[in-house]
Amino acid sequence: MMSSVPAVSVRDLRVERGGRDVLYGIGFEAARGSLLGLLGPSGCGKTTLMRALVGVQIVKSGTVTVLGEPAGSPALRRRVGYATQAPAVYGDLSVGENLRYFAAVLGAPRSDPARVVDEVGLGRHRDQVAATLSGGQLTRVNLAVALLGGPELLVLDEPTVGLDPVLRQELWELFRELAGRGTTLIVSSHVMDEAGRTDRLLLMREGRVLADGAPESLRSRTGAADLEGAFLRLITERGGSTA
Ligand SMILES: Nc1ncnc2c1ncn2[C@@H]1O[C@H](COP(=O)(O)OP(=O)(O)O)[C@@H](O)[C@H]1O
Ligand SMILES: [Mg+2]
């Protein structure tokens, strides 16, 4: 039934921001339960694409379908979790209070705050006021909010930026586990070494998808030793400059 519909289907998406084109005809599909990476340098359009997926971005043309519905449909509200790049939690509430507040707004089960706080490894900080958390802890509270209600699609904008390698590893393990349970994840990063942890990568540059495939196939197709090298070769193939 629903599972035959891709989690996300984007066709010829064009977006203009500040009077300038920033996405030029993006197209891709994400299967249910897949872990898709959106990789590319700062300013290439990752956040804009994610905004279109959650339905807050005005688009110039093209279609964005999420779980079979037009992006941003009211019916999708509880089915899609979004963690913005800048943490959006209340500084004067504790971790637990933030999560209980957002759970109430979303109509998520009462047991959810306890579940998500453990999933992101913040159990010890449950009663700490958010304003006093470290950057990495704040990032994890932000992620925990997105996990409330067990959404079918998670859109996570640079969720591992600023985290130490151990935490990054733990979060990628959590993403993998969620995908294993059938959640679809779209995770952006500008750090190439994270790319290898995904099932599939969209390599973006300047508002376009340079390549779309499994990390291993991108590496072998370009003959590069690593994904950073693959990215550089793809740019050169296209006749672009790396400057
Ligand atoms: N509010 C805005 N107004 C005008 N231009 C914007 C705005 N936000 C982002 N942009 C531009 O859109 C492009 C893509 O930005 P963004 O999607 O944030 O990229 P990324 O997330 O990959 O860093 C950039 O050139 C950026 O300068
Ligand atoms: Mg961004």
Residue-wise pLDDT for 152-179, tens only, equals 999 999 998 878 888 888 889 999 999 9
Q: pLDDT value at position 63?
A: 97
Q: pLDDT value at position 190?
A: 87
| pLDDT bucket at 227, cuts 50 / 70 / 90 | confident
| pLDDT bucket at 16, cuts 50 / 70 / 90 | very high
Partners of residue 26 on adjacent β-strands: 13
Nearest CA to ligand 1 atom 27: 43
Q: pLDDT value at position 241?
A: 53
pLDDT at 239 over 70: no
Token pair recorded at residue 40: 């590319």
Distance 38 CA to ligand 1 centre (A): 15
Q: pLDDT value at position 238?
A: 74
Helix (H, G, I), strand (E, B) or coil at 155: strand
| pLDDT bucket at 240, cuts 50 / 70 / 90 | low
Nearest CA to ligand 1 atom 14: 45
Ligand located closest to 203 CA:
1
Q: pLDDT value at position 4?
A: 75
Residue-wise pLDDT for 132-144, tens only, equals 999 889 999 999 9
Which ranges of the chain does DSSP label H, i.e. alpha helix? Answer: 46-54, 95-106, 112-119, 135-147, 165-180, 215-222, 227-237
Nearest CA to ligand 1 atom 26: 43
**Neighbour-count burial of 212, counting CB atoms closer than 10 A to its CB (0-12 exposed, 13-18 middle, 19+ buried):** middle
Average pLDDT over residues 73-100: 95
The rounded distance, in Å, linking the Cα atoms of 34 and 199 is 7
> Which residues approach ligand 1 with their CB closer than 6 A?
17-18, 22, 40, 42-48
Test site for ligand 1: of 16, 47, 188, 192, most ligand atoms within 8 A of the Cβ: 47
- Pick the more confident residue, 77 or 35: 35
Ligand located closest to 18 CA:
1
Exposure string over 155-176, b if 16+ CB within 10 A, otherwise e: bbbbbbbebeeebbebbbebbe
Could you tell me which of 167, 163, 159, 240 has the C-alpha nearest to residue 204? 240
Distance 20 CA to ligand 1 centre (A): 10
Test site for ligand 1: of 15, 20, 22, most ligand atoms within 8 A of the Cβ: 22
* Ligand 1 atom index nearest CA of 42: 23
* Ligand 1 atom index nearest CA of 158: 21
**Cα dihedral sign, 1-146-35-205:** positive
The rounded distance, in Å, linking the Cα atoms of 156 and 74 is 20
Nearest CA to ligand 1 atom 17: 45
What mean pLDDT value characterizes the chain?
A: 92
Q: pLDDT value at position 53?
A: 98
Residues 6+ away with beta carbon under 8 Å from 134 = none
